[in-house]
């Protein structure tokens, strides 16, 4: 629809330019959709933008533009008029709008998709929790947003890979191993205090019990290091499986599980050096390292960051930042055109240092984007659900998913802009009523299914032969809303903002419900009925496509 407006207006402007002998009249035609019906279906502010160049008042320029519109305007518009300071408002013919339904029907599941990404390879890395415990609510927002961004980019013509970076190296993992070992020893009556920042959750005891069941007391004979390593590796395997399962239960699936230990800290087949020592050498060759106080520093300040950072600690062990640089170099080397990381907002300070590091080794950091996700507060009965990570008592992803279901879980985590804090209202999430926006949308989809079943009983089938009969304001509004979907999807892809799709679906569902209450689809007049069935087929297609993008199911009946 908008393309039609752009098309006729630019033709007009071009003609004016020619007539007045103005060469640089080129201007981007911005098509707006007025909020108020009196201002028509579409409006254009072009006259105000080029008034200066022409040397006339905006309203006079608008007059000129209208005079020079091409002939086809008569087929498209009921009227075109000037308003306000110089807007041109277009009132589109109902028939021209309704005929666009054919595009939706033809495209079907593809309606809304685009080639915005032009096949570019994108890596979306998200969740990337270290496997030392279960995923909690914070992870769940990261998971759902990351997954949905990936779906939206796929639908927009990008070649997307979803990756989970398994943070399985370093101190945290060793602590996990030690914690499990202590619980294991407890089972044999050896009492020992957990370290200060050890893992206190019940699952640590469960894993210890499992080891006892499998290995008996044999670990007690091993050296502390051997035993702890065994515990660590076993716990890692178990927890990773739990993480995968929890994510799969909310429809989050990954293409790659990238282990830090295996890929960054281990010598690979094609090289005799680890990626970790390679990156160190590379940074060194760029002259961006410096030894100070027994540690090795990256001079990030030379690349615009506010401070320098340690890469190798004075005890000789690498920081995770060094591994992170190696990991991100690897992302570039794997040939991704765009690299998107989804991080919790508490990591925002790491963005500038990683970008600095990428620049220091000659990589284009504009291809690297970090999506920062703000925190989730779980609310029950109007109060925040207390979480204490220290005591090991936090609400897990699994608990909430089981309580409210995957559909509600996903939608609630998607319905706010990622950069806003999100209150997750458990009471609302469990309500099976109109208050719950998930059901509101799904109900619209199911209602359409119900109409089809009725139509089948009556022996009426849809047809595009009588679309001109669709002229009630409610149905025109519905069509217009449907036609907006590709634009919403594109906008959402450009801004990496899934909530825009969620909002759109609520508006679309609302428009459908209005229509349903106003216009009877299965009616005596078979011609109208067939046209209306055609319309609601399109509505169901768009609702379905949108829900699929969000990873939410679309039920045939409720």
Partner RNA sequence: GUCCCCGUAGCUCAGUAGGAUAGAGCGCAGGAUUCCUAAUCCUGAGGCCAGAGGUUCGAAUCCUCUCGGGGACACCA
Q: Does 169 bind RNA (CB under 7 A)?
A: yes
Q: Does 390 bind RNA (CB under 7 A)?
A: no
Q: Which one of the spans 110-118, 235-243, 450-458, 462-470 is the region binding RNA (CB under 7 A)?
A: 450-458
Residue 284 has what DSSP assignment?
Answer: H
Here the tokens at position 368 are 């690297």
Q: Measure the CA–CA gap between 29 and 176, rounded to whole angstroms.
A: 59
Q: Which one of the spans 182-190, 237-245, 392-400, 432-440 is the region binding RNA (CB under 7 A)?
A: 432-440
Q: Measure the CA–CA gap between 49 and 61, rounded to whole angstroms.
A: 10
The residue within the footprint of RNA, chosen from 443, 470, 530, 539 (CB under 7 A), is: 443
Q: Does 423 bind RNA (CB under 7 A)?
A: yes
Q: Which one of the spans 113-121, 133-141, 240-248, 302-310 is the region binding RNA (CB under 7 A)?
A: 302-310
Torsion-angle region of residue 349: left (phi > 0), alpha (psi -120 to 50) or beta? alpha
Q: Does 386 bind RNA (CB under 7 A)?
A: no
Nearest to 206 by CA among 388, 392, 387, 385: 392
Q: Does 144 bind RNA (CB under 7 A)?
A: no
Nearer CB in complex with RNA: 87/534: 87
Q: Does 454 bind RNA (CB under 7 A)?
A: yes
Q: Does 310 bind RNA (CB under 7 A)?
A: yes
- The rounded radius of gyration (Å) of the Cα atoms in the chain is 30
Q: Measure the CA–CA gap between 317 and 300, rounded to whole angstroms.
A: 20
Q: Does 36 bind RNA (CB under 7 A)?
A: yes
φ, ψ at 439 (rounded to 5°): -65, -30
Q: Measure the CA–CA gap between 86 and 63, rounded to whole angstroms.
A: 9
Q: Measure the CA–CA gap between 169 and 323, rounded to whole angstroms.
A: 9
Q: How many CB atoms lie within 10 A of CB 62?
A: 27
Q: Does 49 bind RNA (CB under 7 A)?
A: yes
The residue within the footprint of RNA, chosen from 12, 43, 142, 541 (CB under 7 A), is: 43
The residue within the footprint of RNA, chosen from 7, 11, 417, 553 (CB under 7 A), is: 417
Q: Does 6 bind RNA (CB under 7 A)?
A: no
The residue within the footprint of RNA, chosen from 118, 453, 461, 468 (CB under 7 A), is: 453
The residue within the footprint of RNA, chosen from 95, 224, 432, 468 (CB under 7 A), is: 432
Q: How many CB atoms lie within 10 A of CB 416?
A: 20
Rounded to 10 deg, the angle between the 406-414 and 526-550 helix axes is 80
Q: Does 472 bind RNA (CB under 7 A)?
A: no
Alpha helices in 187-259 (DSSP H): 202-215, 224-249
Q: Does 422 bind RNA (CB under 7 A)?
A: yes
Q: Measure the CA–CA gap between 462 and 104, rounded to whole angstroms.
A: 14
Q: Smallest distance, Å, CB 207 to RNA?
A: 19
Number of residues engaging RNA in binding (CB under 7 A)? 87
Nearer CB in complex with RNA: 34/544: 34
Give the end-to-end CA distance of the chain in Å, rounded to a whole number. Answer: 34
**8 Å CB contact between 153 and 336:** no
Q: Does 116 bind RNA (CB under 7 A)?
A: no
- Tell me, residue by residue from 476 to 515, as one string, x for binding to RNA by CB under 7 A and - for no binding: ---------------------x-xx--x--x---x--xx-
Q: Measure the CA–CA gap between 444 and 30, rounded to whole angstroms.
A: 33
Q: Does 435 bind RNA (CB under 7 A)?
A: yes
Q: Which one of the spans 110-118, 146-154, 516-524, 537-545 is the region binding RNA (CB under 7 A)?
A: 516-524
Q: Buried (b) or exposed (e) across 504-528, using 16+ Cβ within 10 A?
A: bbbebbebbeebbeebebbeeeeeb
Q: Does 545 bind RNA (CB under 7 A)?
A: no
Q: Measure the CA–CA gap between 555 and 558, rounded to whole angstroms.
A: 7
Nearest to 13 by CA among 54, 71, 57: 54
Q: Does 517 bind RNA (CB under 7 A)?
A: yes
Q: Smallest distance, Å, CB 282 to RNA?
A: 20
Nearer CB in complex with RNA: 176/363: 176
Q: Does 96 bind RNA (CB under 7 A)?
A: no
Here the tokens at position 387 are 């979480």
Nearer CB in complex with RNA: 7/374: 374
Q: Which one of the spans 212-220, 301-309, 399-407, 478-486 is the region binding RNA (CB under 7 A)?
A: 301-309
Q: Smallest distance, Å, CB 216 to RNA?
A: 32
3-state SS class at 329: helix
Q: Does 383 bind RNA (CB under 7 A)?
A: no
What residues form DSSP beta bridges with 384?
379
Contacts (CB under 7 A) with RNA, residues 62-91: 83-85, 87, 89
Q: How many CB atoms lie within 10 A of CB 73?
A: 17
- Tell me, residue by residue from 336 to 375, as one string, x for binding to RNA by CB under 7 A and - for no binding: ---------xxxxxx---------------------x-xx
């Amino acid at each position: 629809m908008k393309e039609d407006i752009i098309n006729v207006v630019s033709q007009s402007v071009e003609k004016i330019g020619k007539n007045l002998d103005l060469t640089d009249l080129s201007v981007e035609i911005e098509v707006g959709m007025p909020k108020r019906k009196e201002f028509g279906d579409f409006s254009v502010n072009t006259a105000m933008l080029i008034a200066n160049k022409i040397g006339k008042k905006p309203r006079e320029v608008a007059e000129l533009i209208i005079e020079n519109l091409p002939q086809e305007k008569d087929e498209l518009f009921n009227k075109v008029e000037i308003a306000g300071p110089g807007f041109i408002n277009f009132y589109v013919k109902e028939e021209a709008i309704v005929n666009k339904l054919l595009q939706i029907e033809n495209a079907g599941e593809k309606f809304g998709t685009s080639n915005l990404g032009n096949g570019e390879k994108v890596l979306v890395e998200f969740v990337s929790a270290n496997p030392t415990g279960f995923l909690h609510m914070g992870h769940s927002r990261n998971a759902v947003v990351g997954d949905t961004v990936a779906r939206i980019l796929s639908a927009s013509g990008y070649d997307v890979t979803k990756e989970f970076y398994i943070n399985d190296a370093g101190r945290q993992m060793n602590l996990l191993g030690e914690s499990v070992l202590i619980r294991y020893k407890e089972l044999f009556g050896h009492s020992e205090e957990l370290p200060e920042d050890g893992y206190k959750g019940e699952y640590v005891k469960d894993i210890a019990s499992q080891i006892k069941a499998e290995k008996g007391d044999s670990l007690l004979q091993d050296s502390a290091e051997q035993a702890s390593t065994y515990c660590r590796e076993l716990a890692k395997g178990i927890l990773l499986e739990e993480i995968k399962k929890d994510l799969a239960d909310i429809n989050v699936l990954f293409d790659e599980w990238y282990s830090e230990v295996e890929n960054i800290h281990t010598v690979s087949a094609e090289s005799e050096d680890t990626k970790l020592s390679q990156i160190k050498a590379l940074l060194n060759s760029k002259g961006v390292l410096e030894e100070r106080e027994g540690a090795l520093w990256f001079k990030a300040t030379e690349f615009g960051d506010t401070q320098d950072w340690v890469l190798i600690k004075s005890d000789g062990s690498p920081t995770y930042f060094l591994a992170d640089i190696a990991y991100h170099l690897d992302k570039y080397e794997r040939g991704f055109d765009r690299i998107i990381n989804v991080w919790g907002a508490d990591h925002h300070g790491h963005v500038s240092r990683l970008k600095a590091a990428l620049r220091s080794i000659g990589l284009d950091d504009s291809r690297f984007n970090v999506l920062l996700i703000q925190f989730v507060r779980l609310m029950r009965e109007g109060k925040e659900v207390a979480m204490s990570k220290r005591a090991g008592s936090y609400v897990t992803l699994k608990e909430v998913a089981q309580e409210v279901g995957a559909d509600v879980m996903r939608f609630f985590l998607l319905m706010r802009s990622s950069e806003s804090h999100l209150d997750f209202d458990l009471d609302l999430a469990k309500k099976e009523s109109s208050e719950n926006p998930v059901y509101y949308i799904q109900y619209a989809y199911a209602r359409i299914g119900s109409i089809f079943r009725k139509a089948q009983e009556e022996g009426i089938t849809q047809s595009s032969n009588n679309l001109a009969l669709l002229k009630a304001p409610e149905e025109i509004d519905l069509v217009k809303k449907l036609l907006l979907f590709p634009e919403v999807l594109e906008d959402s892809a450009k801004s990496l903002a899934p909530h825009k799709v969620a909002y759109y679906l609520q508006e679309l569902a609302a428009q459908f419900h209005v229509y349903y209450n106003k216009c009877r689809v299965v009616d005596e007049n078979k011609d109208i009925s067939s046209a209306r069935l055609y319309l609601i087929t399109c509505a169901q297609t768009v609702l379905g496509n949108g829900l699929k993008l969000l990873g939410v199911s679309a039920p045939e009946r409720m």
